[in-house]
Amino acid sequence: MAQENIYTDPATKSMEELVALCKRRGFVFPASEIYGGINGFWDYGPLGTALKNNIRDWWWRQMVECPPIGPDGEPVEIVGLDSSIIQNPKTWEASGHVGGFSDPMVDCTETKKRYRQDHIEVLIVDDKGCWGFPENNIDYIAKKLKKANVSRDDGTVKNLTDIDTSEYEKIIAPDTDKPGTLTAPREFNLMFDSHAGAIKSDENKVYLRPETAQGIFLNYKNIVDTMRVKMPFGIAQVGKSFRNEVTPRNFIFRSREFEQMEMEWFCAPAESAKWYDFWKHERMRWWESLGVDKANLRFRDHDDDELAHYSKMCVDVEYKYPFTAPGYGELEGVAHRGCFDLTQHQEHSKTKMEYFDQAAQLAAKEAGKSKEEIAAASKYIPNVIEPASGLTRAVLVLLCEAYTPDPDRPAGVYMKFKPKFAPIKAAIFPLVNKDGMPEIATKLYHELRQKYVVQYDAKQSIGKRYARMDEAGTPFCFTIDGDTLNDNAVTVRDRDSGQALAERLPLDQVDAFLAAKIAE
Amino acid sequence: MAQENIYTDPATKSMEELVALCKRRGFVFPASEIYGGINGFWDYGPLGTALKNNIRDWWWRQMVECPPIGPDGEPVEIVGLDSSIIQNPKTWEASGHVGGFSDPMVDCTETKKRYRQDHIEVLIVDDKGCWGFPENNIDYIAKKLKKANVSRDDGTVKNLTDIDTSEYEKIIAPDTDKPGTLTAPREFNLMFDSHAGAIKSDENKVYLRPETAQGIFLNYKNIVDTMRVKMPFGIAQVGKSFRNEVTPRNFIFRSREFEQMEMEWFCAPAESAKWYDFWKHERMRWWESLGVDKANLRFRDHDDDELAHYSKMCVDVEYKYPFTAPGYGELEGVAHRGCFDLTQHQEHSKTKMEYFDQAAQLAAKEAGKSKEEIAAASKYIPNVIEPASGLTRAVLVLLCEAYTPDPDRPAGVYMKFKPKFAPIKAAIFPLVNKDGMPEIATKLYHELRQKYVVQYDAKQSIGKRYARMDEAGTPFCFTIDGDTLNDNAVTVRDRDSGQALAERLPLDQVDAFLAAKIAE
């Protein structure tokens, strides 16, 4: 049945289970849960925070501290930044976010609810009527349409954006019974606004940044003037951004407060296509380094008609989320932004953003280029390639990727994180809480905690302890048992196989074993 | 002259030099500088971000991943959290921030400027008049009072808070010439507000958190229910907070957007005094571990009359900032918050915050306590000890502490960071860019960058390269020179002495040398 395929995909069920596990094990909690929550905001619990920090640190290490080797065999140059969330509001006029950064919205005059125009789908049943419903809303389909004695198969479904406004009078809006209550679409700005300073006035209106990128463009000139960087180079930052999404959804996929990892790569215009290609493939390599299955990742080039006005080329790295499967959804965008941003800021701030490229000038002269060619190569506003990804979205991907049902285990599921990203690297168990075992286990724990995030657990049966570590995604459990007193070795329980390794591991090799696994 | 002593303290000059160095070397930039800045907001440049991350990671390691050993010889238990900046607004009603979190402000009806009442000082010259001026405003003193033909020595200075409102009519406000334009003080809430959702109304008004602590209290119940923690335990988080300060000042000391490192320690009421004492001393130890001179740190116990209404005891760890010297200013507060916060949230959310303490119950029974005593020991709303410090303030302290003028060096100054916190751990220089030296230097650089933040520099004279590293606070420079080709060793230039170490360091020992220095 078509209805089942579209609206009750098995993926939805697994998302529900994942969200439940995230709450049960302290990965992600709904924000302000004791006050009934707040739509679009999430808190990261102890395990979720550790997972997020691990991904953040890996991105920072591979992007800023030890950036990749470029086409010339030398590491590319990238510096870090941490700019303010609130900036001078002129920033957002220059960037186009004041005015342009908005979604068309429709209001329902009956229920006073507001919807994103492109999130409403309309079921058109020739002579019976037109039912509007929030896209993919299973409840609506099941209850409301049934009540009206129509089914999805009776008609055709169109997105509201594909219906002429003059036809809106026929549409029965969600949660209403009569047609014609939807207004024509209006623009709604996605930036949160506030006021800085003691007086609330238009003059001191400020915005929470909707992207970290503009903080980088604001500091481009400062970095060039102070850090002795030479073209090409990058500026990277990790930080929170805010978008007042009308319909936050899909767990932490689309929330109103989220964390980004963005890098702006500045280069000579003539070199931009080469670097676009470099970063496109480099970013895919990075996602694979997280342990994400290649089969769940793909590139999707933007068509010309979906490119932002400033963008020359853009490719998304997409992931097969449970709620998009068998389709894919956005994970990271690698955009060729041309010289749009720096030119805008130059115009609005009257600060020269031109770069004098001594090396390119020399090369052009040596190549016998014309005067005009030499001038063009020597002085330019750089082009920008932007690999922009979501840190909180990366957390979601690793949670989805790790979630592995296994009915044979007590927990019924285990979280298969690559050791490098696992919130807890290892657990240390005395088999029983006596006979000298706790003493050895405690000693090992005290040693390992100096270098790794490890947990000591002596409570309940060993099976229950394994089950807890399966849900936390802890790759290894070291058990001190009766034999340890004689052979100075431990049992290593491997999370993925659910079995003990054949070989016992000498106590003095545990550190090296763990270090090697985490480095993988 | 008294005027000089009060208003042109030498410290002010050294702060100006520090701020200039911070900008010149990419530690801290004014936010939105190309748009003329924005009062109270700062961006952290490449070196400042690295310094900040290093402090953050050390706090997290010592607080969450490898927390200190408690009085019983075992590590205390602390879990990490990363809660949302925007929470359900009921949070701030319960915490007392809506309504209570405010500063008394006075307006000037003439200039329309607004001032914090306690930031205005008044020079009273008996029969000539009363001049109000922003405290410590040297410009005002120099220009305005001179114009009026009075000097500071002619009268006495009082803070505006010490003057009765009925006397305000005599005061000549800053930037005015006639008396009586200051209004009586009014309360002004320090929280930034905004709206979540598509419609702006009182119903969906939200606030940017003024402290990270409340996000912890909101999740106390979730953590107890999911993380198998037992009393006593802590919840820690690092993150941004926002306070709409009327007069942000002293560089990054008091800004409107800042970063906090807060831990809430939950314990049985009967044990709270013991833990207050534990955390007080533990936090001082931590600040010393950053390499801060003990002479510049001190405790200051709050007097009863300056305690917040919810607080039973509070001690500040204070630092001798250049702008407070010879006095001290706040760095971290360790507060005994009693059961105030959890009780407030219990009342407002109707969620039970009581903890059932099985271990305490057993102990009370075994000690033969009365039924009432056993009941009281078994079930309680925990008390909270809160060590709350500013991450951005910690950056300021390390910048102040590291800043070491040295007229004998080319840069005139060097930044004496402890290697663990230095943004760049080492620089690798070929003495000259030929004769096989760059090849060896490049090889060493490629090896070291896998583990450390290091920089390769082959540009300009070796003296200039040292000078750059002095200002960046890089503790070691490894120079590959003519001898390296024969002895496979490098010269180690030590930042603090400004000299080469007597012994050359074999190439294959550079890694271990650096690791040992960073571990110190």
Domain membership flag for residue A149: yes
Phi/psi at B304 (5° precision)? -55, -35
Looking at the complex, does the CB of residue A195 fall below 8 Å from at least one CB of chain B? yes
Using one digit for the tens of pLDDT, what is the confidence trace for B356-379?
A: 999 999 999 999 999 999 999 999
pLDDT at B101: 64
Q: Which of A120-134, B91-105, B418-432 has the highest mean pLDDT?
A: B418-432
Asked whether residue B321 falls in the same domain as residue B352, the answer is: no
What is the average per-residue pLDDT within A28-40?
A: 96
Q: What residues of A are in contact with residue B348 (Cβ under 8 Å)?
A: 35
Residue A111 has pLDDT above 90, yes or no: no
Residue A5 has pLDDT above 60, yes or no: no
Looking at the complex, does the CB of residue B248 fall below 8 Å from at least one CB of chain A? no
Q: Chain B window 466-495: which residues touch A at a Cβ cutoff of 8 Å?
A: 468
pTM: 0.88
Question: Do the chains contact at B206 and A39, CB–CB below 8 Å?
Answer: no
Rg of the Cα atoms in chain A: 27
pLDDT at B369: 94
Domain membership flag for residue A154: yes
CA nearest neighbour of A46 among A424, A450, A395, A390 = A424
Question: Do the chains contact at A38 and B87, CB–CB below 8 Å?
Answer: yes
Q: Which helix (DSSP H) or strand (DSSP E) does residue B385 occupy?
A: strand B383-390
What is the average per-residue pLDDT within A49-60?
A: 98
- Chain A nearest-CA distance from B7, in A, is 26
Range with lowest mean pLDDT among A181-190, A406-415, B187-196, B497-506: A181-190
Using one digit for the tens of pLDDT, what is the confidence trace for B16-38?
A: 999 999 999 999 999 999 999 99
Q: Which domain holds residue B363?
A: 346-381
Residue A40 has pLDDT above 70, yes or no: yes
pLDDT at B207: 97
Q: Which residue of A has its CA nearest to B442?
A: A74
Domain count, chain A: 4
What would the DSSP string read from start to end of B452-497? S-EEE--SS-HHHHHHHHHHHT--EEEEE-TTHHHH-EEEEEETTT
pLDDT at B138: 65
Query: d(Cα B434, Cα B364) in Å, to the nearest integer?
Result: 78
- Chain B nearest-CA distance from A40, in A, is 9
A493, two tokens: 């329980």
Domain membership flag for residue A90: no
Residue with tokens 């979604």: A103
Closest partner residue to B36 (CB to CB) among A53, A88, A221 is A88
Closest partner residue to B114 (CB to CB) among A86, A198, A219 is A198
Asked whether residue A217 falls in the same domain as residue A315, the answer is: yes
What is the average per-residue pLDDT within A131-155?
A: 76
Residue B3 has pLDDT above 70, yes or no: no
Asked whether residue B213 falls in the same domain as residue B69, the answer is: yes
Residue A22 has pLDDT above 90, yes or no: yes
Find the CATH number of the domain harbouring A515: 3.40.50.800
Looking at the complex, does the CB of residue A105 fall below 8 Å from at least one CB of chain B? yes
Residue B10 has pLDDT above 70, yes or no: no
Residue pairs between chains A and B whose CB atoms are closer than 8 Å: 236
Using one digit for the tens of pLDDT, what is the confidence trace for B55-79?
A: 999 999 999 999 999 999 999 999 9
Q: Which ipTM score applies to this complex?
A: 0.87
Question: Do the chains contact at B32 and A114, CB–CB below 8 Å?
Answer: no
- Are B123 and B137 spatial neighbours (Cβ–Cβ below 8 Å)? no
pLDDT at A8: 41
Which pLDDT band holds residue A129 (cuts at 50, 70, 90)?
confident
Closest partner residue to A43 (CB to CB) among B42, B219, B351 is B219
- Chain A nearest-CA distance from B27, in A, is 9
What is the average per-residue pLDDT within A239-264?
A: 94
What is the average per-residue pLDDT within A115-139?
A: 81
Asked whether residue B390 falls in the same domain as residue B245, the answer is: yes
Domain membership flag for residue B405: no
Asked whether residue B78 falls in the same domain as residue B215, the answer is: yes
What is the average per-residue pLDDT within B50-55?
A: 98
Looking at the complex, does the CB of residue B105 fall below 8 Å from at least one CB of chain A? yes
Within 8 A by CB and 6+ apart from A277, the residues are none
Find the CATH number of the domain harbouring B20: 3.30.930.10
Looking at the complex, does the CB of residue B111 fall below 8 Å from at least one CB of chain A? no
Asked whether residue A265 falls in the same domain as residue A130, the answer is: no
Query: d(Cα B78, Cα B265) in Å, to the nearest integer?
Result: 8
Query: d(Cα A439, Cα A427) in Å, to the nearest integer?
Result: 15
Work out the mean pLDDT of chain B and round it to a whole number.
91
- Are B105 and B117 spatial neighbours (Cβ–Cβ below 8 Å)? yes
Asked whether residue A218 falls in the same domain as residue A335, the answer is: yes
Residue with tokens 């280069």: A267
Question: B475 vs A107, which has greater pLDDT?
Answer: B475
Asked whether residue B318 falls in the same domain as residue B224, the answer is: yes
Domain membership flag for residue B158: yes
Which pLDDT band holds residue B442 (cuts at 50, 70, 90)?
very high
Q: How remote is the C-alpha of A157 from its chain's centroid?
A: 31
Question: B425 vs A459, which has greater pLDDT?
Answer: B425
Q: Chain B window 53-92: which residues touch A at a Cβ cutoff of 8 Å?
A: 53, 60, 65-66, 75, 79-88, 90-91
Omega before B232 within 30 of 0, i.e. cis: yes
Asked whether residue A42 falls in the same domain as residue A145, the answer is: no
What is the average per-residue pLDDT within A54-77?
A: 96
Question: Do the chains contact at A84 and B349, CB–CB below 8 Å?
Answer: no
Question: Do the chains contact at A66 and B450, CB–CB below 8 Å?
Answer: yes
What is the average per-residue pLDDT within A125-144?
A: 76
Residue B137 has pLDDT above 80, yes or no: no
pLDDT at B4: 32
Looking at the complex, does the CB of residue B201 fall below 8 Å from at least one CB of chain A? no
Question: Do the chains contact at A244 and B196, CB–CB below 8 Å?
Answer: yes
B496, two tokens: 């603090």
First and final C-alpha spacing in chain B? 46
Question: Do the chains contact at A32 and B91, CB–CB below 8 Å?
Answer: yes
Range with lowest mean pLDDT among A273-282, B123-132, B500-509: B123-132
Question: Do the chains contact at B44 and A83, CB–CB below 8 Å?
Answer: yes
Residue A355 has pLDDT above 50, yes or no: yes
Residue B500 has pLDDT above 60, yes or no: yes
Question: Do the chains contact at B26 and A226, CB–CB below 8 Å?
Answer: yes
pLDDT at A6: 32
Which pLDDT band holds residue B84 (cuts at 50, 70, 90)?
very high
Domain membership flag for residue A20: yes
Q: Which residue of B has its CA nearest to A90?
A: B35
Q: Which residue of A has its CA nearest to B469?
A: A227
Q: For testing the chain A interface, which of B52, B63, B82, B209 should be mutated: the one with the most A CBs within 10 Å?
A: B82
Using one digit for the tens of pLDDT, what is the confidence trace for A332-342?
A: 999 999 999 99
Q: Which residue of B has its CA nearest to A115?
A: B198
Question: Do the chains contact at B43 and A88, CB–CB below 8 Å?
Answer: no
pLDDT at B186: 79
Which pLDDT band holds residue A246 (cuts at 50, 70, 90)?
confident
Q: For testing the chain A interface, which of B22, B38, B111 should be mutated: the one with the most A CBs within 10 Å?
A: B38
Query: d(Cα A196, Cα A356) in Å, to the nearest integer?
Result: 37
Query: d(Cα A321, Cα B8) in Å, to the nearest integer?
Result: 62
3-state secondary structure of B82: strand
Q: Taking each helix axis from N to C terminus, what angle separates A391-402 and A46-60, rounded to the nearest 10 degrees? A: 120
Q: What residues of B are in contact with residue A206 (Cβ under 8 Å)?
A: 38
Asked whether residue A233 falls in the same domain as residue A308, the answer is: yes
pLDDT at A385: 98
Asked whether residue B262 falls in the same domain as residue B393, the answer is: yes
Asked whether residue B508 falls in the same domain as residue B466, the answer is: yes
Q: For testing the chain B interface, which of A43, A229, A237 should be mutated: the one with the most B CBs within 10 Å?
A: A43
Domain membership flag for residue A26: yes
Closest partner residue to A222 (CB to CB) among B29, B227, B351 is B29
Residue A308 has pLDDT above 80, yes or no: no
- Are B263 and B391 spatial neighbours (Cβ–Cβ below 8 Å)? no
- Chain B nearest-CA distance from A63, in A, is 12
CA nearest neighbour of A500 among A490, A514, A486 = A490
Using one digit for the tens of pLDDT, what is the confidence trace for B245-266?
A: 877 889 999 999 999 999 999 9
Helix (H), strand (E) counts: chain B: 18, 28
